[in-house]
Amino acid sequence: MRLEQLQAFLAVAETGSFQQAAKQCGVTQSTISRQIQALEGEIGLSLFHRSSQVKLTIGGERLWPHVRKICQTWRVATEEISDLLAGKQPELCVAAIHSICANYLPPILQKFCQDFPEVQLRVTALGSDRALKVLKDGLVDVAIVMNNRYFTASADLLVQLLFEEPIEVLMSANHVLTKYQQIPVQELVNYSQVVFKDGYGMQRLVQEQFNRLGANLKAVLELNTLDAFRGVVRQGNLIALLPASALLEARTDPSLAIRAIAPVIAPVSLSGEEKSLNHWSRQVVLVTTPDRMQIPPIKHFWQLVCQQLSEQKLSEQKLIYQDQVVV
């Protein structure tokens, strides 16, 4: 049983004429006749009294309300798909890490709302792991997260690298570690730290770096907002390892200090050539699914993020360089 057979049946039932049904469906009368005959063959009953005026048989009367419902449902479904492809979707849901939500998304969101005023934007600040999970579950359309190749190396996901940034040390302005412009790792491991909660990519990244060094991460407090990190670190001897984009506000706070982490350098050959053994940085990526990129508002948001966020990062790097801030 095929949809065009049901549509032909409905057209004949409504017009009472094979000829009029053919005009309504945009096909020849012989095509309508063949479709009705094929449908009658599958059902095993005659559906119309074929006389001067075509009328439904008892079998046709029983079938008619069901066919009408099927065709109506199909019509609504195709209209919704057409609207979707035309950019007429009710909302666009985004999950992003906190530093992106706070520092980079506002102008992008404003531009998107100007371009697609009928689309309701819903933005949620989440840790990277949670953001990727809700994306895979279909609860959001786009995620902006710290890259984790264990999660993003999938044919089901479309991943775009946005930028890579250093991990730096946040501490109070009078902390003993401020004497260093680049803090040696052997000094770093001696201090208790504030870390992101479990489920945030940054906690895993920091823990992996300490594991590579064979050092113990002294995590004494877990938080999930940048305001809380600044407030706690400002009070005493705790430190926090955070990405550069999460430290924009801290750079202008005289009660706080930011320092780079000194790379660990070691010889890698008999000739004495040296190489950095650890690279304290993270990648920020934009993630969606290939099917969502066929939807105009989602594709447009993707393009805005790629373009405007890269411009913002370039401008930010120039400002930091001008202020002689180490990043």
Bridge partners (DSSP) of residue 93 are 122
Kindly state whether residues 220 and 173 are assigned to the same domain. yes
With CA atoms as reference, report the closest residue to 325 among 100, 317, 6: 317
Q: Express each pLDDT in 194-246 by its tens digit.
A: 999 887 888 888 888 888 888 889 999 999 889 999 999 998 889 999 999 89
Q: Which domain holds residue 253?
A: 165-276
86 DSSP assignment: T
Q: Assess contact for 250 and 230: CB atoms under 8 A.
A: yes
Band the pLDDT of 317: cuts 50, 70, 90.
low
d(CA 81, CA 75): 10
Kindly state whether residues 79 and 33 are assigned to the same domain. yes
Whichever domain contains 41, its CATH number is 1.10.10.10
Residue located via tokens 């849901």: 93
Domain boundary among 85, 112, 140: 85
Q: Is residue 327 part of a domain?
A: no
d(CA 214, CA 218): 13
Kindly state whether residues 26 and 108 are assigned to the same domain. no
Question: CA separation (Å) from 42 to 5, 37, 38, 319?
Answer: 11, 9, 6, 74
Kindly state whether residues 75 and 97 are assigned to the same domain. no
Kindly state whether residues 156 and 292 are assigned to the same domain. yes
Per-residue DSSP letters for 31-81?
Answer: HHHHHHHHHHHHHTS--EE-SSS-EE-HHHHHHHHHHHHHHHHHHHHHHHH
Q: Region 245-251: what's the mean pLDDT?
A: 91
Whether the predicted pLDDT of 270 surpasses 60: no
- Give the least confident one: 40-44, 132-136, 314-318, 322-326: 322-326
Kindly state whether residues 38 and 175 are assigned to the same domain. no
Kindly state whether residues 33 and 50 are assigned to the same domain. yes
Q: Encoding tokens for residue 197?
A: 């909660």
Kindly state whether residues 78 and 109 are assigned to the same domain. no
Domain boundary among 68, 85, 102: 85
Positive or negative, the CA dihedral 76, 77, 80, 85 is negative
Kindly state whether residues 194 and 247 are assigned to the same domain. yes
Q: Is residue 255 part of a domain?
A: yes
Alpha helices in the chain (DSSP H): 3-15, 18-25, 29-43, 58-85, 98-103, 105-115, 128-136, 149-152, 185-188, 201-213, 226-234, 296-322
Residue located via tokens 């890259």: 147
Q: Region 165-183: what's the mean pLDDT?
A: 94
Whichever domain contains 193, its CATH number is 3.40.190.10
Q: Is residue 130 part of a domain?
A: yes
d(CA 7, CA 221): 65
Q: Is residue 195 part of a domain?
A: yes
**CA-based end-to-end distance of the chain:** 66
Secondary structure (3-state) at 172 = strand
pLDDT at 149: 78
Kindly state whether residues 288 and 157 are assigned to the same domain. yes
Q: What's the whole-model pTM score?
A: 0.72
State the chain's mean pLDDT as an integer.
86
Kindly state whether residues 255 and 170 are assigned to the same domain. yes
Q: Is residue 79 part of a domain?
A: yes
Q: Is residue 181 part of a domain?
A: yes
| Number of domains present in the structure of the chain | 3
Q: Express each pLDDT in 123-157 by its tens digit.
A: 999 988 899 999 999 999 999 999 987 778 778 89
Kindly state whether residues 174 and 315 are assigned to the same domain. no
Q: Is residue 117 part of a domain?
A: yes
Residue located via tokens 């049946």: 9
